[in-house]
Chain A
Amino acid sequence: MKRVGVFLCWCGSNIAGVVDMDRLQAEVERMPGVVHVEQNKYTCSDPGQESIRRAIREHRLQRVVVAACSPRMHERTFRAMMRTAGLNPYLLEMANLREHCSWVHRDIDEATAKAVDLVRRAVFKVRLARPLQSGKVPITRRALVLGGGIAGIQAALDLADFGIPVVLVESSPSLGGRMAQLDKTFPTLDCSSCILTPKMVEVATHPSIRLLTYSEVESVEGYVGNFKVLVRRKARSVDEQRCTGCGECLSKCPAKVPSEFDLGLGTRGAIYVPFPQAVPNVPVIDRQSCLYFTRGRCRICQRACPAGAIDYQQEDRLESYEVGAIVVATGYDQFDPAAYGEYAYRASPNVITGLEFERLVSSTGPTGGRILTPGGGREPQRVVFIKCVGSRDEQRGASYCSKTCCMYVAKQAILLKEKLPRCEVYVFYMDVRAAGKDYEEFYLRAREMGVQYVRGRVARVFPHGDRLRIRAEDTLIGRRLELEADLVVLASAMVPRPDARQVARKLGIAANQHGFFSEAHPKLRPVETHTAGIFLAGAAQGPKDIPDSVAQAGAAASKAAALLSRQEMETEPVVAEVNEHWCSGCLRCARVCPYNAISEREIRVRTAAGVRTKTVATVNPGLCQGCGACAVACRDGAMNLAGFADQQVLAEVDALCL
């Protein structure tokens, strides 16, 4: 029988305040194989770890149980300690007496009884543990950044400055993302383009960055350090090498369609650059609205182009890249306020969203920066902002707070007051959340400029003559109000992009119930995903403003750089293993594997009837994340998760139930 040592941690009073440690020790001492038990106030501390090392030496321990907090917290710590004590790190088992017991119980007797069970489970399991060895895989020193908004731009620049080659893939024709659509930024009111466009140029000219705009990731294969990415470069119909960006073609194009960049408030041609500062400054032909592509006639742009860059025959190209790490910065979308029929978003052109307001107030926007009602082209006398449209409303929108709206509404109100001092501005709010450096002061500035903040949700917006009438309640004085306005701005929620779930599936990463990508740990691993080698940046992970996106992008870049700074990496040994003798080759395991880590292969087996070939499952240990789904799906018991073998799990069940 293996010699087991058990270390009971008080965690200060976190555990010892609820669990009777002496009674627990007495019970543990009687468990099979346990030759040594001791208590420690803080086992994770340096003296705590040292006392385990000493006990391993003195009592010739072969297996160790640490009964303390969640393994998510300190399993790594204790595994490292095992290595320094000369034991294989995987001969350690943790019993979670804190999160699973003392933090959730009050009754000392019951909590102690449960603690005994939890430790017994760990003892039974660890007795069957066997040493696991990690392997090594080489690392491709190149990173993929997905998305060319501010988060993607920042991540790409930071990675490139580490000297790491970067491939930046952006689906639209230009870098810039949402930030390029904004007019000014809070809380400093510096112009969004002025701080963004230099970064866009830097990306385009950086020798370590390969910029692929108007491109999409088709598929991602492989695993950390060794991803294979297939990129579809959509046909631009303009030769990027030849085009000089002179813009001759743009003014000649006879087609007029709503501009995506101006959110339909302005128009563009069928051949267009999304906005004047676009990077690259190479137009793209929208084939759906191009007269040549739809009716076979026109070719005006081709005649206008002095460089001969127009190429109607261009086709989508597929390019393959090998990368070691991926930063996902695919951004966010705007909630469609049509779900709130009573706000008349569809019914009136003068009800717009916050992002549309940005285009309205931007000097590169359709009105050249003059604030005019989209319906009548008049300067508004009164503007009403409605906050939390789609946020904090489980019934029709999302339960979460979109975090940025309070500040951008304050900013837009200030811009309005600056441009139109006589315009009355009302803001209807549920709460004002201005947490952030200089944010509260910024919000107060809006109030000082005369912006009327009214606490209450607006009930109705409806057209009344050529104005809009708003019904609401001022919940602070408990009175209903009804007022007229020329423009209503809905601060609509930040939501994941419509294709977020497909992207998550392609990459093999998780998304939460709303569709935002999930980080590996909300506090301690905020930029990593559960899939090794894939990192998150920006609003694709959750609503975020520019400073947060930039900070997160930097963090993601340095995490990726840390990974790519090595030649090779150790693989996690807790992966699935196939017992080929037992495997019947049904490949149910392959179907349930979320990481595409299992494939089939043929092996030759010697049987009584001679040598024959047989199909078996095989696990790619680089891809396997150790989730164990395959072990559950396996009918033959041939699939085992190293460190969680069937015998070990059954021993745990026995420990708890027998």
Chain B
Amino acid sequence: MNSYLYYPGCSLAGTAREYGQSTLAVLRRLGCEIPELDDWTCCGASSAHSLDHRLGLALAARNLALAEAQGRGLLTPCAACYSRLAAAWHGVRQGGEVAEWLREILGRPLEGTFRPRSLLEFLVVEIGSHEIARQAGVPLDGLKVACYYGCLLSRPAEWAIDDADNPQLMDGLLEELGARAVPWAYKTECCGSFLALARTAVVFGLVERIVEAAREAGADCLVTACPMCQANLDMRQRRGRPPLPIFYFTQLVGVSLGLAPEVLGLDRHIIPGLPLLRERNLVSGPVGLRERLLR
């Protein structure tokens, strides 16, 4: 477990602060002290790799090389960061031309000794759902969740963290913690990603389909492992029917481990999630200021 360095990426320091907060809180509670990678830089997501293939890989590879020099791999909660780091790692491991020019651009050695890990995979595979459940004090009984993986963790199949068409890691983890993961068909659908800015209407349409499917499957809420998905689902649900709250899986793991709502950033969502958790007696204690304001 000491073989990782934490790579938060930009979202977790900004728009997805609650993801970063809850990640660190959960890791700490589980006794995993994972130091942050010193001098980390952009993973190259979206902007870089859509402009220039080499730039996209090189930006991510720089971080891999920094960690490798310390004999460690990178652990990242963000799906986009994971996807970029894995793409670069894959390129290096393939050897040949790509590995050559990556090393040349970086001006540092990079062998790809350590595979980057997504936090979800780390928690389920390395720590183990069972172990987390053992330490959890609050079973998520009665909570029906629709686990939403989006595209970046599940595609392409070469570095998908799980079965590309039917990922199960999050479902298994939350079921172990007492929640009921509803079977539904939209777990790897597109959330619309950056079209949220350029063509918002498209994203409203995509999000509606995902949320409708989750509602129809009987879910109380959606759970994601991706800042982009969370933002789109949280901000682009059409008004009308009561919206479904969108949690990060780390937040629900944190609730189950008995961590306080503010620590997990549960009061930072656009669609308030705390009322649902309070209603199910999963969260207790006084209502915080931000929570009151959001109502």
**Which of chain B's residues has its CB closest to A469's CB?**
B185
**Which of chain A's residues has its CB closest to B167's CB?**
A341
Tell me the bound Cα distance from A471 to B164 in angstroms. 16
Tell me the bound Cα distance from A462 to B188 in angstroms. 14
Provide the residues of chain B in CB contact with A395, threshold 8 Å.
157, 164
* Cβ–Cβ contact B165 & A459, under 8 A: yes
Q: Does A344 contact B (CB under 8 A)?
A: yes
Tell me the bound Cα distance from A302 to B165 in angstroms. 53
Q: Does B40 contact A (CB under 8 A)?
A: no
Also in contact, A462 and B185, with CB within 8 A (given A341-B163, A395-B157): yes
Q: Within the complex, what minimum Cβ distance (angstroms) separates A492 from chain B?
A: 16
Provide the residues of chain A in CB contact with B163, threshold 8 Å.
341
**Which residues of A389-420 are within 8 A (CB) of B?**
395
Q: Within the complex, what minimum Cβ distance (angstroms) separates B192 from chain A?
A: 16
Provide the residues of chain B in CB contact with A342, threshold 8 Å.
165-166, 185
Q: Does B21 contact A (CB under 8 A)?
A: no
Q: Which residue, of A340, A395, A460, A463, has the highest number of chain B Cβ atoms within 10 A?
A: A460
**Which of chain A's residues has its CB closest to B163's CB?**
A341
Provide the residues of chain A in CB contact with B183, threshold 8 Å.
344, 347, 462-463
Provide the residues of chain A in CB contact with B216, threshold 8 Å.
464
- Report which of A341, A464, A471 forms a contact with B166, defined as CB distance below 8 A: A341
Interface of B, secondary structure class, is: loop
Tell me the bound Cα distance from A180 to B168 in angstroms. 38
Q: Within the complex, what minimum Cβ distance (angstroms) separates B190 from chain A?
A: 12
* Cβ–Cβ contact A460 & B168, under 8 A: no
Q: Which residue, of B157, B164, B184, B185, has the highest number of chain A Cβ atoms within 10 A?
A: B185
* Cβ–Cβ contact B185 & A471, under 8 A: yes
Provide the residues of chain A in CB contact with B166, threshold 8 Å.
340-342
Also in contact, A459 and B157, with CB within 8 A (given A340-B166, A341-B163, A342-B166): no
Q: Within the complex, what minimum Cβ distance (angstroms) separates B236 from chain A?
A: 20
Tell me the bound Cα distance from A460 to B185 in angstroms. 6
Provide the residues of chain B in CB contact with A463, threshold 8 Å.
183
* Cβ–Cβ contact B165 & A340, under 8 A: yes
Residues of B within 8 Å of A, CB-based: how many?
11
**Which residues of B162-213 are within 8 A (CB) of A?**
163-166, 168, 183-185
Size class of the contact patch on chain A = 10 to 19
**Which of chain B's residues has its CB closest to A482's CB?**
B185
Tell me the bound Cα distance from A342 to B165 in angstroms. 6
**Which of chain A's residues has its CB closest to B162's CB?**
A341
Q: Within the complex, what minimum Cβ distance (angstroms) separates A472 from chain B?
A: 11
* Cβ–Cβ contact B185 & A341, under 8 A: no
**Which of chain B's residues has its CB closest to A347's CB?**
B183
Provide the residues of chain B in CB contact with A469, threshold 8 Å.
185
Provide the residues of chain A in CB contact with B157, threshold 8 Å.
395
Provide the residues of chain A in CB contact with B165, threshold 8 Å.
340-342, 459
Tell me the bound Cα distance from A464 to B185 in angstroms. 10
1/0 contact trace for A456-498 toward B, CB 8 Å?
0001101110000101000000000000000000000000000
Tell me the bound Cα distance from A347 to B166 in angstroms. 12
* Cβ–Cβ contact B185 & A459, under 8 A: yes
Provide the residues of chain A in CB contact with B184, threshold 8 Å.
462
Provide the residues of chain A in CB contact with B185, threshold 8 Å.
342, 459-460, 462, 469, 471
Provide the residues of chain B in CB contact with A460, threshold 8 Å.
185
Q: Within the complex, what minimum Cβ distance (angstroms) separates B188 from chain A?
A: 9
1/0 contact trace for B227-249 toward A, CB 8 Å?
00000000000000000000000
Tell me the bound Cα distance from A342 to B184 in angstroms. 10
Q: Which residue, of B166, B168, B217, has the highest number of chain A Cβ atoms within 10 A?
A: B166
1/0 contact trace for A180-202 toward B, CB 8 Å?
00000000000000000000000
**Which of chain A's residues has its CB closest to B185's CB?**
A460
Provide the residues of chain A in CB contact with B217, threshold 8 Å.
462, 464
Q: Within the complex, what minimum Cβ distance (angstroms) separates A484 from chain B?
A: 12
Provide the residues of chain A in CB contact with B168, threshold 8 Å.
341
**Which of chain B's residues has its CB closest to A463's CB?**
B183
Provide the residues of chain B in CB contact with A341, threshold 8 Å.
163, 165-166, 168
1/0 contact trace for A336-356 toward B, CB 8 Å?
000011101001000000000
**Which residues of A428-481 are within 8 A (CB) of B?**
459-460, 462-464, 469, 471
Q: Within the complex, what minimum Cβ distance (angstroms) separates A466 from chain B?
A: 14
**Which residues of B150-168 are within 8 A (CB) of A?**
157, 163-166, 168
Tell me the bound Cα distance from A347 to B181 in angstroms. 13
**Which of chain B's residues has its CB closest to A343's CB?**
B166
Provide the residues of chain B in CB contact with A462, threshold 8 Å.
183-185, 217
Q: Within the complex, what minimum Cβ distance (angstroms) separates A613 from chain B?
A: 55
Provide the residues of chain A in CB contact with B164, threshold 8 Å.
395
Provide the residues of chain B in CB contact with A340, threshold 8 Å.
165-166
Provide the residues of chain B in CB contact with A464, threshold 8 Å.
216-217
Q: Within the complex, what minimum Cβ distance (angstroms) separates B210 from chain A?
A: 13
Tell me the bound Cα distance from A463 to B217 in angstroms. 9
Provide the residues of chain B in CB contact with A347, threshold 8 Å.
183
Tell me the bound Cα distance from A460 to B217 in angstroms. 14
Q: Within the complex, what minimum Cβ distance (angstroms) separates A388 from chain B?
A: 14
Q: Within the complex, what minimum Cβ distance (angstroms) separates B288 from chain A?
A: 38
Tell me the bound Cα distance from A469 to B184 in angstroms. 9
Provide the residues of chain B in CB contact with A471, threshold 8 Å.
185
Provide the residues of chain B in CB contact with A344, threshold 8 Å.
183
Q: Within the complex, what minimum Cβ distance (angstroms) separates B227 from chain A?
A: 25
Q: Within the complex, what minimum Cβ distance (angstroms) separates B163 from chain A?
A: 6
**Which of chain B's residues has its CB closest to A341's CB?**
B166
Tell me the bound Cα distance from A463 to B216 in angstroms. 12
Q: Within the complex, what minimum Cβ distance (angstroms) separates A226 from chain B?
A: 51
Q: Which residue, of B157, B164, B165, B168, has the highest number of chain A Cβ atoms within 10 A?
A: B165
**Which residues of A325-371 are within 8 A (CB) of B?**
340-342, 344, 347
Q: Which residue, of B157, B168, B184, has the highest number of chain A Cβ atoms within 10 A?
A: B184
Tell me the bound Cα distance from A395 to B157 in angstroms. 8
**Which of chain A's residues has its CB closest to B157's CB?**
A395
Tell me the bound Cα distance from A347 to B171 in angstroms. 14
Q: Within the complex, what minimum Cβ distance (angstroms) separates B222 from chain A?
A: 16
Tell me the bound Cα distance from A471 to B183 in angstroms. 13
Tell me the bound Cα distance from A463 to B157 in angstroms. 25
Q: Within the complex, what minimum Cβ distance (angstroms) separates B179 from chain A?
A: 18
Q: Within the complex, what minimum Cβ distance (angstroms) separates A377 from chain B?
A: 22
Tell me the bound Cα distance from A398 to B199 in angstroms. 41
Selected A-B contacts with CB under 8 Å, 22 pairs: A340-B165, A340-B166, A341-B163, A341-B165, A341-B166, A341-B168, A342-B165, A342-B166, A342-B185, A344-B183, A347-B183, A395-B157, A395-B164, A459-B165, A460-B185, A462-B184, A462-B185, A462-B217, A463-B183, A464-B216, A464-B217, A471-B185
Q: 8 tightest A-B contacts by CB?
A: A341-B166, A460-B185, A342-B166, A342-B165, A462-B185, A462-B183, A471-B185, A341-B163
Query: Given A342-B165, A342-B166, A342-B185, list of 5 further CB < 8 A pairs?
Result: A341-B165, A341-B168, A395-B164, A462-B184, A471-B185
